[in-house]
Structure formats: C-alpha cells, structure tokens
Structure 1
Amino acid sequence: MTVRAHDHASRHDPVYDHLHTTPTFVELRRRYRGFVFPATVAFLSWYLLYVVMSMWAHDFMSQDVIGNINVGLVFGLLQFVTTFFLAWLYSRFSNARLDPLARELDEEYNRERREVGR
C-alpha cells in the first residue's frame, strides 16, 4: 500500500500546520532546543565520565572519602542529584520561558479552531 503525498497532508490539522510556521512556534522550539540539547549533552557527558572512571580509574574511584564511603559511591550518588537538579532546572525554565509561549499558541489554536468550525 502506498501513501500519496496529498493523503498524508490531508491528515494534518490545517490550524496546527499554520501555527507551526508562526514566529511564536519557531521561538518556542528554539528555546526548548536551546535548553534541552546542551543539558542532555552535559548530563550524558557527566554520566559517561562516571562510567569511564569506574572502568579505568579504579584506584581513584576506590579511594575512601569518609569511612567506607569512597569516590565511586559519591560519583554514583551525584548522578541522582544531577538528575533531580536538571529536572528542577528544566521546570523553572519551562515555567518562565516556554509555558507563556505555549499558552499563547494554545489560545491561538483554539481561536482558529473555533473560526474553522463555523
């Protein structure tokens, strides 16, 4: 079964297709990517450092910090701290920089849908 180009296009919401090209949507996507891509690269790099250090820097990772707590355990626990920190940071960023644009787009979408429905 082949899907013709016009069949695929006819399944899209014309209001969404219009909003997708607006400067507000483009800015929303730019802001989202501007946060998510660097944060993802930073987190994955930090995690990869933990894995690499665990595999090839055993002497360093096994050094005791306090009592039976060693550097490897601290690194491992910091992975959880980093995850929660990034989630909190993203929540603040989203509330301040993304949600206002998303609400604006949602209002525009609902307004245009009502107009199309007439």
Structure 2
Amino acid sequence: MSTTESSPPEDVRDWTTVQSSPEFQDLRRRLRTFVFPLTGLFLAWYLLYVLLASYAAPFMSIKLFGNINVGLVFGLLQFVSTFAITAWYVRFAAKRYDPLAEKLRGELEGVDIVKGDKA
C-alpha cells in the first residue's frame, strides 16, 4: 500500500457540482418519493403484526381452517409483502430511476449511452 497521494485523473468531475445539479437532485427526489413512504408503510405493517402477536393473542389464534390461524396468515403475508415490494421497486427503478441514472452517468463519463462510445 502506498502512502503517497496521487492526483485524481483529469476527467473526474467535481462531485460537489454534480451533486447540486438539477438532474442529480431529480434523481434523488424520485428515489426518496418512492423509498421513504414505502419503507414507512412496510415498517407500520410489520409493527402491526408484532403488536397483534403480542397483545391480541386471542385474535391471532382464531382458527381459519385446519391448523391455520390468523397469526400464521399474517406471518406469511409478511413474506408476500416483502416480495411484492421488491418486485414493485424493480419495476419502478427500471422505468423511472435507471434511465435517468444512466443518462446522468453517461453525461459525467462522456459516453454516448445509445452507441456506448466516448463522445
């Protein structure tokens, strides 16, 4: 490991300028408007499950059919909701986030995204 500092390549942009650019701010806004509310909803759903399991045992132990009760169904729905949120995020990112991120990246690196070569 070298202790000498090397200067950054000349083609590296000023990241403070990039971070304050309208394109980057739009990218962050798009991500935050999707991720933060969905995270809050999922945490509330999980907290509801934990609180019901802790304080509403008679409700959670209601048998629906056979040995399947409300608590088991709610527990399985936690997995279902996790996979659904993941699928929803992947679709969101592919349609609304990744194209803008690729465009911004291409501008920063000087690459034509369509052709894949240096501009």
Superposition misfits of 4+ residues, deviation over 4 angstroms = none
Structure 2 unaligned blocks of 5 or more: 1-6, 112-119
**Per-residue deviation at 1:41?**
0.2
Tell me if 1:48 matches 2:47: yes
Cα distance in 1 for residues equivalent to 2:16 and 2:103: 16
Cα distance in 2 for residues equivalent to 1:15 and 1:90: 30
Assess, with a 3 A threshold, how the Cα gap between structure 1 residues 111 and 15 changes in structure 2: closer, same or farther: farther
Tell me if 1:17 matches 2:16: yes
Spell out, residue by residue over 1:15-42, the C-alpha distance to the aligned partner (whole angstroms, 9 max, x if none).
3222211111100100100000000000
The equivalent residue for 1:5 is none
Counterpart amino acid of residue 46 in structure 2: Y
The equivalent residue for 2:79 is 80
How does the TM-score come out when normalised to structure 1?
A: 0.81
Q: Which has the higher contact order (CA 8 A, sep 6+)?
A: 1
**Per-residue deviation at 1:111?**
1.6
Cα distance in 2 for residues equivalent to 1:43 and 1:73: 18
SS across alignment from 2:14? helix
Cα distance in 2 for residues equivalent to 1:27 and 1:65: 47
SS across alignment from 1:53? helix
State the identity as a percent: 51
The equivalent residue for 1:6 is none
Cα distance in 2 for residues equivalent to 1:16 and 1:104: 16
The equivalent residue for 2:94 is 95
Contact 2:60 2:69 in 1 (8 A): yes
**Per-residue deviation at 1:109?**
1.2
Cα distance in 2 for residues equivalent to 1:16 and 1:96: 25
Counterpart amino acid of residue 83 in structure 1: T
